[in-house]
Amino acid sequence: MRLSEPPADDLVHTAYARETGDAAILYEGISLADMAHVVGLMEANVIPPEAGGELIAALLEMHPAPPLDFALDPARGDLYSNREAYLRMLTRAVGWLSAGRARREATTLGYLIAVRARLLALAAALGDCVAAALDLAEKHRTTLFPDYTYLQPAQPSTFGHYLLTFVYPLLRDLDRARAAFGRTNLSPAGSGSVNGSRLPLDRARLAELLAFDGLVPHTRDAMWQADGPIEIAALITTSIITLDRLAEDLQIFSTAEFGLVELADRHTRTSVIMPQKKNPYSLAYVRGVCGESIGNLAAMAAVGKTPSGQIDNRIFAYGDIPRALDRATGAVRLMADVLRGLAVNADLAARRASEHFIGATDLAEVIMLNCGLDYKTAHDLVGRAVRAALESGETTLTTDLIRAAAAETRHAASLQSLTPEIIAETLDPARIVAARTGPGGAAEAPVTHMIAACHAALADQVRWRASAQMRIEVAETQLLMTAAMLKAALPPREEKPAQAAEQPGQGEAKPQSLEELADELFKDLPPPPNRRRRWRG
303 touches 312 (CB < 8 A)? yes
The span from the CA of 193 to the CA of 222, in Å, is 9
Task: Tell how far CA 217 is from the center of its chain.
Answer: 27
132 touches 442 (CB < 8 A)? no
Higher pLDDT, 398 or 537: 398
pLDDT value of residue 530: 43
Task: Tell how far CA 245 is from the center of its chain.
Answer: 17
Whole-number percent of the chain with pLDDT over 70: 92
What average pLDDT does the segment 300-326 reach?
92
The span from the CA of 530 to the CA of 150, in Å, is 57
Short-list 3, 55, 9, 94, CA closest to 490: 55
Higher pLDDT, 519 or 440: 440
pLDDT value of residue 123: 98
Pick the CATH number of 9-101 from 1.10.1760, 1.10.3470, 3.90.25, 1.10.275: 1.10.275
pLDDT value of residue 365: 96
What type of residue is 36? A
The answer, yes or no, to whether residue 234 has pLDDT greater than 90, is yes
What average pLDDT does the segment 330-345 reach?
98
Residues with Cβ < 8 Å from 405, sequence gap 6 or more? 381, 382, 384, 385, 388
pLDDT value of residue 465: 98
pLDDT value of residue 1: 82
The answer, yes or no, to whether residue 511 has pLDDT greater than 80, is no
> Could you tell me where in the chain the CATH 1.20.200.10 domains are found?
105-137+145-184+200-352+444-467
Residue 91 has phi, psi (to 5 degrees) of -155, 145
The span from the CA of 247 to the CA of 105, in Å, is 41
The span from the CA of 443 to the CA of 439, in Å, is 9
pLDDT value of residue 413: 82
The answer, yes or no, to whether residue 27 has pLDDT greater than 90, is yes
476 touches 190 (CB < 8 A)? no
If residue 108 lies in a helix (H) or strand (E), which one and from where to where?
helix 103-139
44 touches 201 (CB < 8 A)? yes
Topology at the third CATH level for domain 105-137+145-184+200-352+444-467:
Fumarase C; Chain A, domain 2 (1.20.200)
Collapse the DSSP code of 135 into the 3-class scheme (helix H, G, I; strand E, B; otherwise coil) and give the result.
helix
pLDDT value of residue 495: 53
pLDDT value of residue 535: 54
What type of residue is 103? R
The answer, yes or no, to whether residue 515 has pLDDT greater than 50, is no
If residue 278 lies in a helix (H) or strand (E), which one and from where to where?
none
pLDDT in tens, 361-384: 999 999 999 998 999 999 999 999
pLDDT value of residue 506: 46
The span from the CA of 509 to the CA of 494, in Å, is 21
Residue 353 has phi, psi (to 5 degrees) of -75, 0
What average pLDDT does the segment 301-322 reach?
91
* Whole-Å CA distances, 340 to 180, 190, 317: 28, 47, 34
The span from the CA of 206 to the CA of 112, in Å, is 14
Collapse the DSSP code of 193 into the 3-class scheme (helix H, G, I; strand E, B; otherwise coil) and give the result.
coil
Residue 272 has phi, psi (to 5 degrees) of -80, -10
Short-list 337, 281, 343, CA closest to 128: 337
Query: 47: which DSSP letter?
Result: S
If residue 14 lies in a helix (H) or strand (E), which one and from where to where?
none
The answer, yes or no, to whether residue 409 has pLDDT greater than 90, is no
pLDDT in tens, 104-156: 999 999 999 999 999 999 999 999 999 999 999 999 999 999 999 999 999 99
C-alpha distance across the termini of the chain, in Å: 33
Least confident of 48-62, 174-188, 447-461, 510-524: 510-524
Q: Cβ of 526: how many Cβ atoms within 10 Å?
A: 16
pLDDT value of residue 345: 98
The span from the CA of 43 to the CA of 52, in Å, is 10
What's the CA dihedral at 340, 345, 350, 353 to 10 degrees?
Answer: -80
Short-list 121, 126, 158, 176, CA closest to 339: 126
Whole-number percent of the chain with pLDDT over 90: 85
> Residue 494 — very low, low, confident or very high, per pLDDT cuts 50/70/90?
low
DSSP string covering 326-349: HHHHHHHHHHHHHHHH-EE-HHHH
Short-list 228, 204, 182, CA closest to 468: 182
Q: What is the mean pLDDT of the chain?
A: 91
The answer, yes or no, to whether residue 527 has pLDDT greater than 90, is no
Bridge-based pairing of strands 144-149 and 152-158 is antiparallel
pLDDT value of residue 493: 65
The span from the CA of 237 to the CA of 243, in Å, is 10
Q: What are the E-state strand segments in 176-248?
A: 186-187, 214-215
